[in-house]
Structure 1
């Protein structure tokens, strides 16, 4: 009998359809049974792993419970968990949206809780098992670093070392290891149940591939010179397409996806690997960004890693094709925009200016010697946010400020949470990071002193010395920083509620009205 390896994961959900993703131990027919309806799909296979996405369409009301069958044998729900349900998106849009980023998959024993804190996503899942409907989000948006390919847990390292003794010795190398990494990340009982019953949307950040991924052209050249990076990036992007991106798409979008059609026809690993290699070499060949109409809200999730233009002197966070797509998406009718960007758009202002300054030096503003040193500094301290791609920052700032409607940018990455507000414009930045990967006490204080203290004074001076123009608008951090592990919840239309984990219980740490 086939086994359920990962899932079921409830992914795309709208007002009349829902998609359920699974990984199985053998090729089989996967069926989702709900309210007397049976919808099914055959698995497709890549690198010896088997997957399916089952679409339930034409739904007119919420599904109180669904079951999963593999070749006619029921494998879900588990007997010791509440039933997995499907709540359709309300016609006027989401009531609440939960989000967060940066989650390491280490054990939940005392030593790891001391070093990594509580896994707030796990705690959130346990909380929803008994919570009332008013506390359930309509969507969970995971904004990067769902897995850490460059910093695996001790248990994952043991798996790696039992397989091979080759470079990279302490990092993920191939698709098989990525598959195991995802399995360990998503099969904890509380996590597994949460992902089976709350719709999820996702986007990658650097650690899904490797720290500093696509920071600069110099970084790409350094990685290309290694013996192992080509296999790693092909495996990482291929695994991302299967485990994360596929579920971001609507049933109609998947029906039109040429790669999925090829895989369903038996195309196998070569088709996936060729796609991933081309996506890395030529970002215009594929789009990882996506958008959804959510009633009163338009959700736009932007790829800020693979779609970069890294040309020295003309760096762009989004290349020309990606920027054109974004301009078109934000111009479509909507009462408000929610934009997911794995890396923050509005950093603390001082840090923003430091990154502006560093980019100018990397482009030769103070000569070749300083240029080389600045590139080393850029990579060493992660100067790679929107501020480090100044032309893209200015373009997006002007675009958003000119819309005349509320815009909320949701981000992660920086391992602390905060809220910032643009002056004279209804543009907000809300950052929630990490879900589980906290900074040490020393690094917390270092971040407060440098990013909210020294940088505020020094950043503006450095920007002026480099003769950089002022940004299109000013902004300020209105709340935070908070350094706790956290999951945030954006509530429409009035505000956002933040939570942290404390002794296995969720407690509210602040409520902010965004209108």
Structure 2
């Protein structure tokens, strides 16, 4: 979801606008510098290592998927050549002092680098990978045979010193006693730069929780970047196309007057437009610190392409210029997001037919649902299920079955870019038709024919939950407000939902927010299925979710042995003062998660 920055939204945050003048000017200078550098470097990825000249890191290191024995690390540098990354066990004395540890890391230190071939070991406690990388393209280093439940320090060899300190911890081979997930959506760097003072930046708050060891995994629910930029900034840029922040618009402008059969010649230029946004967004220092020190898994939403992508029929035309530019954005999303969990052969992107992905981490199932590519890039004419698509539904049914990867899981987190429940179908339909700015309601679960799949999803999750004393929590983003929801059938709560949005964007306008709260006190999907919202906020926020297994030896518990507890809460930004922790909500109606961070 995106708001157009009109008076109703801006006036509600007028106290933040004094920051905009100097920060806006600073940002324009920075963007002009990046455009100049891009022209110098080009987009061919042909720059090579030069003797005595150290390459610079443009993005990363970013910790991708981590399991008990493996870890993926993504990095992008500005020169082609061989690059070496070493991971080594973190000394226990340093592990107990995270603040001291950050000062002691020797990430990117200068000097000679030993070569160990494609992969090698300095000792049982050190692992080294060396591989060829292409300039200005993200590359992934996958480490295997790591020790379970072990903290590692990441060192990038031979690059300039100003690299974000990086570390990670592997997970137990069996189910973890407790895992805490940070949940994020709607990260608009343009708003961070213009409106959010450093002391109020939620990314800085989250990084402190990560450094303190209180967050084990980050789940990104969409709008990791805003490829369509910022309308206010582009209004100031006027006809200066190089200064446009809207990469989709720049791509369409580039294709004007070009015959469709020649569009492919401009693919790399359009892709580079989008890469610039990832670099700008992810090297924001607090964001970079979070991404470098905690595992990350992601699913894209509309703004990785442009606002409302896939919500109107025109977006389904694969022969249009809009679709070509969108496909470039999708390719770039695979470079920066998909590679965090799986290898991608970019010479065969036509062989990629799905964007949903499922994982089992420390005994917790993670189900990332695709609601954008399913209706555009992977759309299949004739599919009966038009929202997620027949193929994705087959995969969901399989993974929830007795033979699926979630068969041994006791808890399941369902990651949906849009909340599974938000507004009633009739309200969703009417709002999407009446207001252009709410057109992306056409991409919600409660819109039109999608409601059939909404009910099917509720039933599928409920069936899995009831099969073996399990628990489910649905996670949603997109809507620029956050809170808790009960999903109900025949007056019984089936499971709950946490909506968290936005970590860095303007809030939902007050009028829309209060209408949503009133409409969601008890909303109806059908005669049987209802939902109830509570403890909502329009402040900027991110989520914290803890999954805990209660054992018979847990004498402090109030739960029964063997019960699974999922506790969810929001961390809310404030206009003045430090962020605050909202009330915790537990499936057992108990508050056991402790996550206190000094500012």
Same fold (TM over 0.5): yes
Match of 1:233 among 309, 326, 332: 326
Following TM superposition, by how much is the alpha carbon of 1:153 offset from its aligned partner in structure 2, in angstroms? 7.7
Counterpart for residue 267 of structure 2: none
Gap regions ≥5 residues in structure 2: 1-53, 89-121, 253-269, 549-564, 589-599
Following TM superposition, by how much is the alpha carbon of 1:379 offset from its aligned partner in structure 2, in angstroms? 6.4
Query: Aligned partners of 1:3, 1:159: CA distance in 2, in Å?
Result: 32
Counterpart for residue 482 of structure 2: 417
The answer to whether residue 412 in structure 2 is matched with residue 337 in structure 1 is yes
Contact between 2:228 and 2:246, CA under 8 Å: does it hold in 1? no
Contact between 1:119 and 1:485, CA under 8 Å: does it hold in 2? no
The answer to whether residue 57 in structure 2 is matched with residue 4 in structure 1 is yes
After superposition, where does 1:267-416 map in structure 2 within 5 Å?
Answer: 271=347, 275=349, 278=350, 285-308=352-375, 316-331=386-401, 332=404, 333=407, 334-348=409-423, 351-355=424-428, 374=433, 380=439, 382-388=441-447, 389-403=450-464, 404=466, 405-416=470-481
Q: Say if 1:455 and 1:90 are closer, same or farther in 2 by CA, change over 3 A.
A: closer
Match of 2:284 among 188, 194, 207: 188
Q: Secondary structure at the match of 1:347?
A: coil
Q: Say if 1:57 and 1:390 are closer, same or farther in 2 by CA, change over 3 A.
A: same
Deviates more, 1:171-180 or 1:24-33: 171-180
Query: Aligned partners of 2:209, 2:359: CA distance in 1, in Å?
Result: 28
Following TM superposition, by how much is the alpha carbon of 1:401 offset from its aligned partner in structure 2, in angstroms? 2.2
Q: Say if 1:401 and 1:378 are closer, same or farther in 2 by CA, change over 3 A.
A: farther
Contact between 2:507 and 2:540, CA under 8 Å: does it hold in 1? no
Query: Aligned partners of 2:154, 2:210: CA distance in 1, in Å?
Result: 17
The answer to whether residue 166 in structure 2 is matched with residue 68 in structure 1 is no
Q: Secondary structure at the match of 1:40?
A: strand
Counterpart for residue 105 of structure 1: 189
The answer to whether residue 144 in structure 2 is matched with residue 57 in structure 1 is yes
Counterpart for residue 256 of structure 2: none
Contact between 1:101 and 1:145, CA under 8 Å: does it hold in 2? yes
Larger radius of gyration: 2
Following TM superposition, by how much is the alpha carbon of 1:34 offset from its aligned partner in structure 2, in angstroms? 2.3
Match of 1:179 among 262, 272, 275: 275
Q: Say if 1:66 and 1:422 are closer, same or farther in 2 by CA, change over 3 A.
A: same
Q: Secondary structure at the match of 1:192?
A: helix
Match of 1:486 among 521, 534, 541: 541
Q: Say if 1:54 and 1:453 are closer, same or farther in 2 by CA, change over 3 A.
A: same
Contact between 2:58 and 2:78, CA under 8 Å: does it hold in 1? yes
Query: Aligned partners of 1:149, 1:106: CA distance in 2, in Å?
Result: 11
Q: Say if 1:314 and 1:321 are closer, same or farther in 2 by CA, change over 3 A.
A: closer
The answer to whether residue 99 in structure 2 is matched with residue 26 in structure 1 is no
The answer to whether residue 569 in structure 2 is matched with residue 497 in structure 1 is yes
Q: Secondary structure at the match of 1:141?
A: strand
Q: Secondary structure at the match of 1:316?
A: coil
Deviation sequence 1:256-314 (CA, Å, 0-9, x none): x5x2xxx5xxxxxxx36xx2xx48xxxxx511111111233111111111113697996
Query: Aligned partners of 2:246, 2:293: CA distance in 1, in Å?
Result: 39
Q: Say if 1:444 and 1:165 are closer, same or farther in 2 by CA, change over 3 A.
A: closer
Query: Aligned partners of 1:387, 1:312: CA distance in 2, in Å?
Result: 21
Counterpart for residue 179 of structure 2: 95
Following TM superposition, by how much is the alpha carbon of 1:121 offset from its aligned partner in structure 2, in angstroms? 1.9
Q: Say if 1:31 and 1:447 are closer, same or farther in 2 by CA, change over 3 A.
A: same
Counterpart for residue 107 of structure 2: none
Report the number of matched residues. Answer: 443
Counterpart for residue 439 of structure 1: 507
Over aligned residues, Cα RMSD in angstroms? 3.5
Contact between 2:186 and 2:505, CA under 8 Å: does it hold in 1? yes
Query: Aligned partners of 1:29, 1:482: CA distance in 2, in Å?
Result: 48
Contact between 2:487 and 2:493, CA under 8 Å: does it hold in 1? yes
Query: Aligned partners of 2:72, 2:202: CA distance in 1, in Å?
Result: 25
Contact between 2:230 and 2:246, CA under 8 Å: does it hold in 1? no
Please, what TM-score do these two structures have when normalized by structure 2?
Answer: 0.66
Q: Say if 1:126 and 1:399 are closer, same or farther in 2 by CA, change over 3 A.
A: closer
Q: Secondary structure at the match of 1:339?
A: strand
Counterpart for residue 302 of structure 2: 206
Gap regions ≥5 residues in structure 1: 264-270, 280-284, 360-372, 461-468
Contact between 1:397 and 1:473, CA under 8 Å: does it hold in 2? no
Please, what TM-score do these two structures have when normalized by structure 1?
Answer: 0.76
Following TM superposition, by how much is the alpha carbon of 1:230 offset from its aligned partner in structure 2, in angstroms? 3.5
Deviates more, 1:34-43 or 1:333-342: 34-43
